[in-house]
Chains A and B, each alone.
Chain A
Amino acid sequence: MPTEVITLRQRLRDLDRKLVFATLIAMLLGLVLIYSADHSLEQAVHFNRQLVVAAIGVLLITLLAVLPTRVYYSTAFLAYGFAIALLLLAMTSGIMGLGARRWISIAGLNLQPSEAAKIAFILAAARVLSQQHDFVSHWRNVGLVAALAIVPTALVLAQPDLGTSSLFPVIAAGMLAWLGLPLQFFILFLLPVVSLFWAVNAWVVTPLIVAGLLFLWRTGMRWVGLTIVLVICLTATVAAPRVWNRLEPYQQRRLISFLEPSTDPLGSGYQVIQSKVAIGSGGFVGMGYLKGTQTQLRFLPEQHTDFIFALAGEEFGFVGTTFTLVVLLVILWRGFTLAGQAKSQFAGLVAAGLTTMLAYHIIINIGMAIGLLPVTGLPLPFLSYGGTFLLTCLAAGGILLSVGIHRRER
């Protein structure tokens, strides 16, 4: 029928081609790098698996792009509940891998429920945030999102997966900011966290707390509120060293090496050193494909997963790393742009949340590979090996495309 044809044509016109291309290029780049990592072991196991997942992912991305926004809206809570159930299942009957229960096995496939939880959380949070019409309360928004975030955060933290668990508060903050939550709320929640580090460096933390309190005064908070905030901050200040001293030495070591890898030169410190050596020795144009010595002689750890960016750095040099950054930047730029264009508040929040998730992953992962940020084990979207993770990223891409295609709908 003619109307149908026109609609389809219009829809195709609304398909964000830049996002499609950038996503495909990033995924292909990942495959190229995974092939190189496999090459060092004279195998192609990971490459072949990733290729299959990529093929499935292309189908998934198409399917999700076509689905209208209302489908996401109506299934948001269902998806959230399902994801929490899977996380609980992983807790009780998960497969141990690298010292953490992260995987569950369904029909012979090993899945990481924390990946699905990210998207489910974004959908559910977008739904609760977009439900208000007349009565608007920042506190209510913050409370609802916090309630949704705390369950997956706690479950993932218990796995334990510090890196991924930190993702939920960050996404929540991103979505609330997208909605226009005033700055004082962020300051209010950051002040106690900053106070935890008072014992580490009082000279930096004290002025920060004072500046925060002054800012809160300017935005209208008065004596009662400020006193409560101050009491909470002081409690954190006093409690942090006591809790620290109660920790077992191995727990202390783990936390220290998380924040300061160089204190653990045989563990995560070793990884960061080797990663920096790989990236640095790549130089401007790189050692050449399949010719990086750090990669091919396997000095670079986790080279097909967490440190795949270092592989790119060694074999393709500064040119390669900058190109990768540009491709990923295009994805994020399109993500935020689509979020801004969406007529539906729910769709905009979903797009902003998904893009924040991708941005956080990318910055943390690359920051880790170049020794700027702690080693968290967050993989690099679209590039790192990992079936569930790639599908999650492609799903995010598919939903972003869907938001774009349906952006004229309310």
Chain B
Amino acid sequence: MLTRGWWHEKRVVIFTGIVVVAFGLLDIRLFWLQVINRPNFTRMAASNRIRIETIEPLRGRILDRNGNLLVENRPSYTLYAQPWIIRKQQGSVMNLAGILQLEPDELRQRISRRGWFTFAPSVLQRDLSWDALAALEAQMIDFPGILFRLESKRRYLCPVAVHILGYIGERDIANPQSGGIRYNLVGKRGLEKTYEKYLGGEPGVKYLEVDANGRLIGEASGKPSIPSQPGWDLYLNIDAKLQEFACELMADRTGAIVAMDPRDGAVLVLVSEPDYDPSLFTGVMPQEVWDELTSDPAKPLLNRAIQGLYPPGSTFKMVDLCAGYSEGVIGENFGVHCPGGLQIGNRWFNCWKHGGHGGMGPIDGLQHSCDVFFYTVGLRLGIERMEKYARELGMGAETGIDLDGESDGVVAGKAYLDRKFGAGKWSKALAANIAIGQGDVLVTPIQLAVYTAALATGDVVSPRLANRFVHPVTGEEMSVEPDIRPVKIDRLILLKVREAMRRVVNEPGGTAFWLKNPEIVIAGKTGTSQNPHGKDHALFVAYAPFDDPTIVVAVVVEHGEHGSSTAAPIAFKLIERYLKGEVKTPSDSALAGTAPLETSGD
């Protein structure tokens, strides 16, 4: 067989040569891996063994203008699971579900919020009960991949401010902006959401070394932790005592109260009733509770002060005066005779006072809230000119208050009506309706407050709940600057409007004269907004003191029927309490019979 002699001679060299070439290739590959590409693999090795753990920052507290604590933190235990590890221990999931009193499927879903192939812990339960904590502590060994962390939890000390403060919740992980490593709680609503950036603080980072099973070895050497930065404490313009008082005044009525300093927009009181228990949102909310909250016909989650939309009713009439004077519709001796109604086209428009007011000028027209006078002014102005002044005074747009979800309201203009009814298909008579704040005009209580402040000072302000931030460690302060824009209406015209508003309260025949306070000169305007779904809503806007206003109040009481009898007393008491520290205005119930019906029916 061995016919080929040369092969016999060379075969050792050839076999060895093949092996040498193969080994040479292996060694070249090794050189590429270990010398040329080493940095990449070093990085991969580090990402294998180093887990980045977030150090949760302490959230900033929230205090009122007098330093009363509204929101603070308290310690609570949170249970986490590392999906990658627990993935292999489906038995312990059942066990754990028993201790936490959860359905196993629900628990699996919580564990795998980020998928099963990650070490990043997912939250199983916040604010563990002591029983569950003790049971888990005792059986810790049976639950690899389960961790506790001591974290801080929000405590809301001022339940009447729930609509302002809001609540916090799990960071939305579907949002890629939120980043992969932060799994903390963030503001979901209210001030907690608006000022998340300051309240939330900066999370710190700990570099931990783990083994292939995700077991913690210790802090990674050479990678020092970055400590977390606590959030800033937030001081509000809100006066907690006044807020509580306002809530008491609302009793169990539905509606909203806004009180604001007209000079800088500092919101003193912002009440929306009904409200809800803020503690419902601090743990894991059961579905039934959420369903109940969202399906409640009283809509407790709605912040009526900034989201509730109401026809302004007669409180809109100051817009007509401003527009009328500015546009020359109301001349020097302009007057209207009120016979109790006005025929416009083929329709009779009633005045609220069916007997009629007789001759009415602009000042007494507002004082008596004579509808016929304002029908006339509205028709002469037309819809577009009224729209212009309504917007100038802050209606029809968000006020810019530092809360989320504010409504912008509706101020009918040509474009709006063309869209609603078709181009040119709407009656000019709509202007009469709009002039008395009915129909296609909708405002929020906060807009009413801004509007009243603009009349009182000549400036439109952006309402501000936040006053300043104080750093809890350094004491450094950051104030929230007011945002003020002057109203483009002649000062003299505003003086006339203010005088009319003064008369509403302080002169006989004014719609709120019965509430006149001898010590404080309050200017205001009553309103009743027609509600097709039930009793009319009662509105009242006011500012005081007349000469140098320091507070404006807007009150809306749903189904309160008459602004003068229901809404106005609330505003008066609030102003008194704020300016004098005590209340002398008789309660509306005690004086129910005293409220003169003929002047409260506008």
Which residues in A have some Cβ–Cβ distance to B below 8 Å? 132, 136, 138, 141, 174, 177-180, 266, 273-274, 276-284, 293-294, 297-299, 313, 317-318, 321-322, 325, 328-329, 332-333, 336-337, 339-340, 345, 352, 355-356, 359, 363, 366-367, 370, 372
Contact = CB atoms under 8 A, between A and B. Distances in A.
A9 to B, nearest CB: 27
Nearest to A329: B23
Interface in B91-135: 117
A363 B26 contact: yes
Contact of B213 (A278, A298, A317, A332): A298
Contact of B11 (A138, A278, A317, A340): A340
Contacts of A293: 45, 48-49
B212 A277 contact: no
A318 B35 contact: yes
A359 B1 contact: no
10 contacts: A136-B1, A141-B1, A178-B15, A298-B212, A299-B45, A322-B30, A333-B16, A339-B15, A359-B19, A370-B29
A33 B34 CA distance: 18
Contacts, number: 130
Nearest to B17: A336
Contact of A279 (B41, B210, B211, B213): B41
B8 A280 contact: no
Interface of B: 1-4, 7-8, 11-12, 15-16, 19-20, 22-23, 25-27, 29-31, 33-35, 37-38, 40-42, 44-45, 48-49, 117, 209-213, 217
Contact of A180 (B7, B15, B19, B26): B7
A180 B11 CA distance: 9
A343 B510 CA distance: 133
A173 to B, nearest CB: 12
**B interface secondary structure, majority:** helix
Nearest to B26: A366
Contacts of B213: 298
B34 A318 contact: yes
B16 A283 contact: no
Contacts of B49: 293-294, 297, 299
B41 A336 contact: no
Contacts of B7: 180
Nearest to A133: B1
B27 A322 contact: yes
Instruction: List 5 tightest A-B contacts by C-beta distance, closest first.
Output: A280-B41, A340-B12, A136-B1, A297-B211, A281-B45
Contacts of A279: 30, 33-34, 41
Nearest to A283: B38
A174 B19 CA distance: 12
Contacts of B117: 266
Contacts of A294: 45, 48-49
B41 A370 contact: no
Contacts of A352: 15
B11 A281 contact: no
Contacts of B40: 280
Given A299-B48, A336-B12, A370 B2 contact: no
Given A177-B11, A279-B34, 13 more contacts: A132-B1, A138-B1, A283-B35, A294-B48, A297-B49, A298-B211, A313-B34, A322-B27, A325-B27, A329-B23, A356-B15, A363-B26, A372-B25
A405 to B, nearest CB: 18
B30 to A, nearest CB: 5
Contact of A297 (B1, B12, B30, B217): B217
A278 B33 CA distance: 10
Contacts of B16: 332-333, 336-337
Contacts of B22: 359, 363
Contacts of A321: 27, 30, 34
Contacts of A177: 11
Contacts of A318: 30-31, 34-35
A180 B35 CA distance: 41
Contacts of A340: 11-12
Nearest to B2: A180
B45 A355 contact: no
Contacts of B20: 329
Nearest to A358: B19
A383 B308 CA distance: 78
Contact of A370 (B19, B30, B35, B209): B30
Contacts of B25: 372
A355 B40 CA distance: 36
A208 B2 CA distance: 30
